[in-house]
């Protein structure tokens, strides 16, 4: 039986700061230097990208066949970016929110102005105050069509794989939030919540003021797809919800269409179809490389097992964990996933027994695949109550959650995080980046 191989890719956003820890708006100058150095080293300069605010940059990777290969190029690109920043008297701050109050400077681009006017400038600026990591899981070539979501020419087998990977990614949402919680401070306040999740995604149900609080069809987690027809309907419903929001904001829809935006581009959901031919997972906090390597290993093994064992991934009413029965992988029903489980993940995280049981079931399912990183996932499953997020580690060192973060403490946190990023990148063996997961107990406990 032929083994299906699909590629994976990664994008990670970073804040650009000066040596004191203050935000820097020198992104264009920094990226120009990255492009020059990448070309000199035989690397692709196109993977060093501007973001919509001038104090943020994005480091991407080409599609990779394995998590090991992805980790190598990710670390190489990150190492280059760090060295360029150091030469310019700048640093990369890797965590999911800048801890102090800030007013981002938005780039003068029509598409950004359209988004800002549609959701409201005060809401939209939250997107410039927090950073995420996006992981791409490839699906069969050509099955995703930017014009109609799913290609008419695709086969039933290709469509079924797309549905399974889409549902798998959706079902992992709260696990990824819980495992990757990074910076506890937002605008100087310790919210006691997953700041990136609530300020970007937002929620009317839970009272989270974020970019997409009132536009969940566009920026919230969308339900599972029970069929291809349902997945296509979901994409068009979201697109029309965005056009209606634009109309309400008195923006002509043709302005959006003229900017070259396709059906799929009007989505900023935690899980979305990407015209590149991937299911894009966008709910991951920007974090230290050790956490990012954990996530890419976990998601690769999850997707590989579903593909290789030809599993059908579907929700089951009342299900709260991952459970394999025969060739069906049952996943939490959406009402629970996007309700009680999301709230628990954004508040207590791994400390919550239901969240821990759910995450543990995912780790056990993934570790059964074997290969590099599997021992680490199994060890993490056995010791999940000892797992400490970056967020929890920071709260032990910095101001308690009930007080305002001082300027000095905030800048010290930024500098300390930059130090840790640089130390991790220099310590990981780029040729064998995943090997440490199977042997280094410190990575299990987030002891950077």
Cα separation of the two ends of the chain? 42
Output the pLDDT for position 2: 54
List, for residues 92-128, the tens digit of each pLDDT value: 999 999 999 999 999 988 888 899 999 999 999 999 9
On the question of pLDDT at 401 being above 60, the answer is no
Beta strands in 106-242 (DSSP E): 132-138, 144-145, 149-150, 185-186, 189-190
| Sheet with 328-332, side-by-side order of all strands | 312-316, 328-332, 323-325
Tokens standing for 400?
């308690």
C-alpha 178/C-alpha 98 separation (Å) is: 19
Lowest mean pLDDT among 28-42, 52-66, 402-416: 402-416
On the question of pLDDT at 445 being above 70, the answer is no
C-alpha 183/C-alpha 196 separation (Å) is: 8
C-alpha 54/C-alpha 371 separation (Å) is: 41
Output the pLDDT for position 373: 87
Number of C-beta neighbours around residue 40 at 10 A: 10
Q: Is residue 36 within 8 Å of residue 81, measured between CB atoms?
A: no
328 sits in which H/E element = strand 328-332
Kindly give, in sequence order, each residue whose CB lies less than 8 Å from that of residue 53, ignoring residues fewer than 6 positions away.
104, 105, 106, 107, 128
**Cα torsion through 138, 283, 360, 169, rounded to 10:** -30
C-alpha 326/C-alpha 300 separation (Å) is: 21
Mean pLDDT value of segment 34-50: 95
C-alpha 431/C-alpha 71 separation (Å) is: 9
Q: Mean of the per-residue pLDDT values for the chain?
A: 93
C-alpha 89/C-alpha 194 separation (Å) is: 31
Output the pLDDT for position 307: 97
C-alpha 409/C-alpha 392 separation (Å) is: 16
Output the pLDDT for position 447: 44
- Give the 3-state secondary structure of residue 93: strand
Output the pLDDT for position 356: 98
On the question of pLDDT at 439 being above 80, the answer is no
Mean pLDDT value of segment 404-411: 92
List, for residues 136-176, the tens digit of each pLDDT value: 999 999 999 999 999 999 999 999 999 999 999 999 999 99
C-alpha 45/C-alpha 36 separation (Å) is: 7
Output the pLDDT for position 448: 40
Q: Is residue 56 within 8 Å of residue 14, measured between CB atoms?
A: yes
On the question of pLDDT at 324 being above 70, the answer is yes
On the question of pLDDT at 425 being above 80, the answer is yes
C-alpha 238/C-alpha 225 separation (Å) is: 14
Number of C-beta neighbours around residue 385 at 10 A: 10
Mean pLDDT value of segment 58-62: 97
On the question of pLDDT at 446 being above 60, the answer is no
Kindly state the percentage of the chain with pLDDT values over 90. Answer: 85
Output the pLDDT for position 113: 87
Output the pLDDT for position 1: 42
DSSP for 383-439, please give it. Answer: TGGG---HHHHHHHHS--TTSBPPHHHHHHHHHHHHHHHHHHHHHS-TTSTTGGGGT
Lowest mean pLDDT among 208-217, 223-232, 289-298, 427-436: 427-436
List, for residues 376-386, the tens digit of each pLDDT value: 999 999 999 99
Name residue 220's beta-bridge partners.
Answer: none
Fold exhibited by the domain 8-429: Creatine Kinase; Chain A, domain 2 (3.30.590)
Mode of pairing for the β-strands spanning 312-316 and 328-332:
parallel
List, for residues 229-288, the tens digit of each pLDDT value: 999 999 999 999 999 999 999 988 777 766 556 789 889 999 999 999 999 999 999 999
The domain spans of the chain are 8-429
Output the pLDDT for position 3: 60
Output the pLDDT for position 279: 98
On the question of pLDDT at 403 being above 80, the answer is no
């Amino acid at each position: 039986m032929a083994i299906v191989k699909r590629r994976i890719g990664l994008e990670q956003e970073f804040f650009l700061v000066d040596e004191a820890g203050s935000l820097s708006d020198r992104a264009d100058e920094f990226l120009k230097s990255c492009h020059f150095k990448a070309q000199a080293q035989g690397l692709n300069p196109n993977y060093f990208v501007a973001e919509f605010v001038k104090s943020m940059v994005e480091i991407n990777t080409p599609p990779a066949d394995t998590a090991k290969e992805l980790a190598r190029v990710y670390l190489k690109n990150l190492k280059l970016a760090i060295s360029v920043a150091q030469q310019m008297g700048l640093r990369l701050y890797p965590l999911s929110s800048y801890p102090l109050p800030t007013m981002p400077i938005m780039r003068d681009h029509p598409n950004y102005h359209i988004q800002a006017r549609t959701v409201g400038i005060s809401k939209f600026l939250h997107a410039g105050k927090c950073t995420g990591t996006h992981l791409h899981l490839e699906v069969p070539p050509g099955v995703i069509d930017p014009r109609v979501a799913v290609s008419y020419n695709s086969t039933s087998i290709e469509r079924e794989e797309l549905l399974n990977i889409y549902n798998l990614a959706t079902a992992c949402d709260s696990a990824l939030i819980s495992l990757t919680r990074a910076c506890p401070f937002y605008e100087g306040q310790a919210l006691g919540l997953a700041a990136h999740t609530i300020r970007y995604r937002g929620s009317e149900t839970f009272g989270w003021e974020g970019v997409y609080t009132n536009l969940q069809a566009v920026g919230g987690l969308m339900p599972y797809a029970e069929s291809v027809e349902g997945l296509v309907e979901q994409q068009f419903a979201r697109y029309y919800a965005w056009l209606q929001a634009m109309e309400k904001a008195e923006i002509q829809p043709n302005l959006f269409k003229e900017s070259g935006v396709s059906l799929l581009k009007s989505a900023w959901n935690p899980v979305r179809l990407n015209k590149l031919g991937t299911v894009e997972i966008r709910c991951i906090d920007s974090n230290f490389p050790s956490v990012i390597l954990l996530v890419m290993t976990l998601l690769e093994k999850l997707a590989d097992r579903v593909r290789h064992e030809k599993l059908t991934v579907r929700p089951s009413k009342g299900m709260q964990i991952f459970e394999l029965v025969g060739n069906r992988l049952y996943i939490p029903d959406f009402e629970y996933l996007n309700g009680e489980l999301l709230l628990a993940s954004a508040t207590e995280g791994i400390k919550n027994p239901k969240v821990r049981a759910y995450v543990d079931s995912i780790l056990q399912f993934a570790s059964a695949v074997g290969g590099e990183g599997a021992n680490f996932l199994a060890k993490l499953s056995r010791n999940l109550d000892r797992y400490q997020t970056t967020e929890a580690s920071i709260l032990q060192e910095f101001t308690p959650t009930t007080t305002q973060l001082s300027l000095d403490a905030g800048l010290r946190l930024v500098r300390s995080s930059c130090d840790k990023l640089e130390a991790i990148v220099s310590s990981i063996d780029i040729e064998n980046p995943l090997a440490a997961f199977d042997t280094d107990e410190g990575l299990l406990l987030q002891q950077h």
